[in-house]
Amino acid sequence: MSQMNLLQAVNMALDTAMQQDERVLCFGEDVGAFGGVFRATSHLQEKYGKDRCFNTPLTEQGILGLANGLAAQGQVPVAEIQFADYIFPAFDQLVNETAKFRYRSGDQFDVGQLTVRAPYGGGIHGGLYHSQSPEAYFTHTPGLKVVVPRNPHQAKGLLLASIREPDPVLFFEPKKLYRASTGEVPEEDYEIPLGQAEVLREGTDITLVAWGAQMQVIEKAAEMAAEEGISCEVIDLRTLLPWDRDTLAASVKKTGRLLINHEAPKTSGFGAELAASLQEVCFLYLEAPIVRVTGWDTPFPLALQNEYLPNEHRTLDAIRASLDY
């Protein structure tokens, strides 16, 4: 065990994966000698050589095209998109190619070994184009898996599991927490299985669910609520596609209330899917409407980013409103 931040945990996971399997390759814009603009790939080129950790030309569609080809050939590509905001030029390669590779070939060819890492989310004065949370787009795409870690320990275990997963995984890293989130991380190789939510705090009055950086918000809100005598169950979804309906449904059936928090805009955010699915299976248990506390339906702003982010105050207000319903 050693104390480290989320970025170091990502770096450690990549290091572990590269050491253990020589087919693992890390690449993307500036990830080579420089170690990436956030330094997630620091020292990997030094350790594993230029042909296993390298810079690509500045083309996201090319990076994903390259990654698809490498994966199909039998390598284990871990491609970095410098900011999740810049994943959109690669949308076609991801949605039409990566996601459908195995299906369309009748399982003759696949790119299941592919992992795409991308720092996402706001709160770092990034404005429209260094703040977006595009996870919901990919949850509408059968064939992909979508994972978001909340802290260093989770990041290492989930990233190792993602790299070894036989399906393509989009791994969104909460860049606001890259340095802000620290914790103990085991030195050894370990995996946290995909597809499983985690109950972080048990409670009886309302279920709060989020992922990534918003976990801190709902945890804080849960604490504030506790001071008012409200007992919140706090769940980290961790994998968004395919998500862990059983754990969530069990919790909602127990508490009778659900609050979903995400940074992305409300309309068609992943909260919509959670709400739609859970009202289906928990209908008779719900004592209030499922509530979504999310980013507004605007581009991500700069001067007013504070006003944009769905923080603990908004969350607590919504918890109270749900209990008062």
Partner 1 sequence: MSDLRSFDVELIQHPEFVDPQTSVLPTFALLQQDGNLYPGAKAPDISRELALKIHDTFLFIRALDERLLASQRQGRVSFYMTETGEEAADICSTAALAADDLIMAQYREQGALAFRGFPLEQFMHQIFSNEKDLGKGRQMPIHYGSRDLHYMTISSPLGTQLPQATGYALGYKRSGQKNCVICYFGEGAASEGDFHAALNMAGVFRVPVIFFCRNNGYAISTPVHEQLAGDGVAGRGPGYGLKTLRVDGNDALAVYEATRLARKMAVEEHQPVLIEAMTYRLGAHSSSDDPSGYRSRKEEERWRQKDPVARFRQWLIHQGWWSEEEDETRREEHRQAVITAMKKAEKVPKPPLEELFTDVYKEMPWHLQEQLEEARDLVERHPEAYPATAGRKQA
Ligand X SMILES: Cc1ncc(C[n+]2csc(CCOP(=O)(O)OP(=O)(O)O)c2C)c(N)n1
CB of 283 to a copy of itself, least distance (A): 4
Interface size with partner 1, residues (CB under 8 A): 81
Look up 130 and say whether it is catalytic: yes
Q: Are 267 and 297 in contact (CB under 8 A)?
A: yes
Among 21, 46, 107, 228, binds partner 1 (CB under 8 A): 107
Window contacting a copy of itself (CB under 8 A); options: 2-10, 87-95, 165-173, 308-316: 87-95
Q: Are 112 and 168 in contact (CB under 8 A)?
A: yes
Q: How far apart are CA 260 and CA 269, in angstroms?
A: 10
SS3 call for 292: strand
Query: Contact between 86 and ligand X (CB under 6 A)?
Result: yes
Among 13, 28, 29, 56, binds ligand X (CB under 6 A): 29
Query: Contact between 62 and partner 1 (CB under 8 A)?
Result: yes
Query: Contact between 82 and ligand X (CB under 6 A)?
Result: yes
Other Cβ atoms within 10 Å of 325 Cβ, number: 11
Q: How far apart are CA 264 and CA 290, in angstroms?
A: 17
Window contacting partner 1 (CB under 8 A); options: 8-16, 33-41, 148-156, 199-207: 33-41
Other Cβ atoms within 10 Å of 108 Cβ, number: 8
CB of 162 to partner 1, least distance (A): 14
The pair phi, psi for residue 102, each rounded to 5°, is -70, -45
Q: For residue 100, with 0-12 CB atoms within 10 Å meaning exposed, 13-18 middle and 19 or more buried, which class applies?
A: middle
Give 36-64 as a DSSP string.
-TT-TTTTHHHHH-TTTEEE--S-HHHHH
The residues in 241-300 that bind partner 1, with binding defined as CB under 8 A, are 242, 245-246, 266-267, 296-299
Query: Contact between 180 and partner 1 (CB under 8 A)?
Result: no
Among 289, 304, 321, 325, binds partner 1 (CB under 8 A): 304
Query: Contact between 313 and partner 1 (CB under 8 A)?
Result: yes
Interface size with a copy of itself, residues (CB under 8 A): 48
Q: Which one-letter amino acid corresponds to residue 179?
A: R
Query: Contact between 93 and ligand X (CB under 6 A)?
Result: no
Query: Contact between 58 and ligand X (CB under 6 A)?
Result: yes
User: For residue 303, what are the contacts with CB-CB under 8 A and spacing of at least 6?
Assistant: none
CB of 250 to a copy of itself, least distance (A): 17
Query: Contact between 229 and partner 1 (CB under 8 A)?
Result: no
Q: Which is nearer to ligand X, 34 or 103 (CB)?
A: 34
The pair phi, psi for residue 83, each rounded to 5°, is -140, 145
Among 267, 304, 306, 321, binds a copy of itself (CB under 8 A): 267
- Cα 32 off chain centre by: 24
Choose, from 29, 80, 97, 130, the residue flagged as catalytic: 130
CB of 88 to a copy of itself, least distance (A): 4
The pair phi, psi for residue 25, each rounded to 5°, is -125, 135
Q: How far apart are CA 169 and CA 153, in angstroms?
A: 18
Query: Contact between 61 and a copy of itself (CB under 8 A)?
Result: yes
The pair phi, psi for residue 117, each rounded to 5°, is -105, 135
Query: Contact between 220 and partner 1 (CB under 8 A)?
Result: no
Query: Contact between 297 and a copy of itself (CB under 8 A)?
Result: yes
Q: Please identify every residue annotated as catalytic.
A: 60, 130
